[in-house]
Structure 1
């Protein structure tokens, strides 16, 4: 009888282990070496990446690989391409690039929809247009939903102060202390939280009175203010500092990044890598002798 229960216990333990692995398995096999094709996609589509030096690019690429190992990206009625995966991972990596080690503890899957959707995830409701959301509840906890079209538009337009991917990942970052409340972990100490709350609420009042260029959605709640203001900070830092110097100074402290200095060069489309150019993998070899052969 003891042997019987031991076997049953062993089987149940094995099944539970398999179920945990299956739920958290990566949906995509991440290459052991960052592919040169991925580097080209980042250089072509991601303004943030374009402005990094070679050492920073390697660190950014490492962060992207780590994210893709940890979080599944699933298409809902849409194919998920390498560019889709990279843009989702960039949305996650950009806000936390100023931290030496990082991980989103409250996320295990990102669902990509072809276009906007409503709160019931229907794409046929013109009355409600949602381009991104962080799920909650039993079946959606730890899940983010993004519109693929909006994600691409966010990285294609660097002058509109908006990035839906960054916006939603700010919510996940806000939740790192256990609650989405508009107070980043860096400011949770009361000494810093009170000045931030005063600054935030004052600006929310200016938005409601039509006296601010921050998107009106930021005035709907404190958590949305943090996400919208952070989009502005990462997308248009020079203008953000000019219009909102106190907010810029605070968010620079929160994210450990001076985005005005980082995004010193305008978004540009690079020329195609030539056969005799240095290989973008950083090997020091010519492209034709290195990654071009692969």
Structure 2
């Protein structure tokens, strides 16, 4: 299928996606190409009352590309569609109920192969780079985690590394710290190892310098896993602005 990248899409990425903004011109083109590849294989649909705009398509694609930026030609074969809902929802994907507190979820059963995201929360995740929360990236990290068949916080790539066993023990230790309130990591990260991996990945992609300063070992593990040294890039860009 042929696809022509609209010129204003690059402007939208420049305005709304800081990860893209930090890239040089060559890598910006690669980022656009990978977003295109994702959008050619994954439908972006709106739920009742939701109009999907170009910005939404780009933010979903960016959410998918950013975690796998360090991996060449990573295919999201398991995601056929991303459905945007008008707000938070419950586990039946219904909004406006007392238990509608979910902003993102990877579907199972009849929803297998689909992801649901709150449209407002998707946009907020990219509008605020300082809150260490990005629901789009969070859910695509779960997809990455599930590539080996299990969403357990120990993705297949982790098993390839020599620090596989230390990582398992490290996660258990850090989850216990979160449970005891002994760390600044969001309490939701203590839910299980899968959520710890997704939550700390949000920190890695949104606040890499802070993560490296406060949790250097965690930053090192995530940097080696994702093959991205975002703290160094952020510091170089900051120095270049002076």
Q: How high is the TM-score relative to the length of structure 1?
A: 0.78
Where does the alignment leave 5 or more consecutive residues of structure 2 unmatched?
none
Q: How many residues align?
A: 236
- The 1-side partners of 2:158 and 2:68 are apart by 15
Structure number having the greater helix percentage: 2
Give the C-alpha shift of residue 100 in structure 1: 1.8
2:59 is the alignment partner of 1:99? no
Partner of residue 89 from structure 1, selected from 36, 61, 83: 61
Look up the match of 1:159.
Answer: 130
Matched residue of 1:144: which SS?
A: strand
For residues 64 and 236 of structure 1, what CA distance do their matches in structure 2 show? 23
Q: Is residue 204–residue 222 contact of structure 2 (8 Å, CA) maintained in 1?
A: yes
Aligned counterpart for 2:176 among listed residues 205, 220, 224: 205
Rg larger in 1 or in 2? 1
Give me the whole-angstrom Cα distance separating, in 1, the residues matched to 2:151 and 2:214. Answer: 26
Aligned-partner SS, 1:124: coil
The aligned counterpart of 2:5 is 34
Match of 2:83 in 1: 111
* Structure 1, 121-130 or 81-90: larger mean CA deviation: 121-130
Structure 1 gaps, min length 5: 1-29, 267-294
SS in 2 for 1:160: coil
Q: Give how far 1:261 is off.
A: 2.1
Is 1:147 aligned to residue 118 of structure 2? yes
Q: 1:121 aligns with which of 93, 106, 114?
A: 93
Residue 190 of structure 1 deviates from its aligned partner by 7.8
Q: Using the alignment, how far apart are the partners of 1:34 and 1:255 within structure 2?
A: 27
Whole-angstrom CA distance in 2 between matches of 1:193 and 1:105 = 25
Question: How many angstroms apart in 1 are the aligned matches of 2:2 and 2:134?
Answer: 27
Distance 1:31 1:165 in 2: 26
Cα distance in 1 for residues equivalent to 2:215 and 2:124? 25
SS in 2 for 1:145: strand
Give the conservation status (yes or no) of the 8 Å contact 1:105–1:176.
Answer: no
Matches within 5 A, 1:1-294: 32-77=3-48, 78-137=50-109, 139-189=110-160, 191-264=162-235, 265=237
CA distance in 2, matches of 1:205, 1:105: 34
Structure 2 residue matching 1:263: 3-state secondary structure: helix
| TM-score computed with the length of structure 2 as normaliser | 0.94
How far has the Cα of 1:181 moved from its partner? Answer: 1.1
CA RMSD of aligned residues (A): 1.4
Deviations, residues 181-217 of structure 1 (Å, cap 9, x unaligned): 1112221248432111111111111111111111000
1:106 and 1:175 in contact (8 A); partners too: no
Q: 1:290: which partner in 2?
A: none
The CA deviation at 1:31 is 6.6
